Amino acid sequence: MRSKKLLNSFVGLSGKLFEDFKEFKREGKVESKTFAYRDQLIEMVQLAKDLVRADREGDWHLHLQSVESVLPYFAVFDFSNYL
């Protein structure tokens, strides 16, 4: 019972934290090209990690989601053969 109450409290508080972090990233991207580059690099590395994880675990839904997330990068970097 207590753990459920703590979990609900955490979910409520973490929502605000995530929103604040998104705002921080948005402002950082506007202020600095280096910030924007590194944020995009982190996102791309996370996508690569998700693809590897999906293959290792045999998680088909994660694989499809990861491939769907990678497709815009193929278009941007002109890798039309992979689209």
pLDDT digits (tens, 9 = 90+) for 18-72: 899 999 999 999 999 999 999 999 999 999 999 999 999 999 999 999 999 998 8
Q: What angle do CA 20, 25, 26 make, to 5 degrees?
A: 95
Give the domain extent around 6.
1-31
| pLDDT for 78 beyond 90 | no
Tell whether 73 and 45 lie within a shared domain.
yes
Tell whether 23 and 44 lie within a shared domain.
no
Residue 58 has a pLDDT of 95
Tell whether 50 and 77 lie within a shared domain.
yes
* List of long-range contacts for 2-7, beta carbons under 8 Å, 24+ apart: none
- If one counts the domains in the chain, the total is 2
Tokens of 3: 């753990």
What's the predicted TM-score (pTM) here? Answer: 0.70
Tell whether 53 and 80 lie within a shared domain.
yes
Of the pLDDT bands very low, low, confident and very high (cuts 50, 70, 90), residue 83 is: low
Residue 54 has a pLDDT of 95
Tell whether 42 and 77 lie within a shared domain.
yes
Tell whether 69 and 40 lie within a shared domain.
yes
How many Cα atoms occupy the beta-carbon half-sphere of 48 within 13 Å?
Answer: 7
In sequence order, what are the residues at sequence separation of 6 or more whose Cβ sits closer than 8 angstroms to the Cβ of residue 67?
51
Q: Are 44 and 36 a contacting pair, CB within 8 Å?
A: no
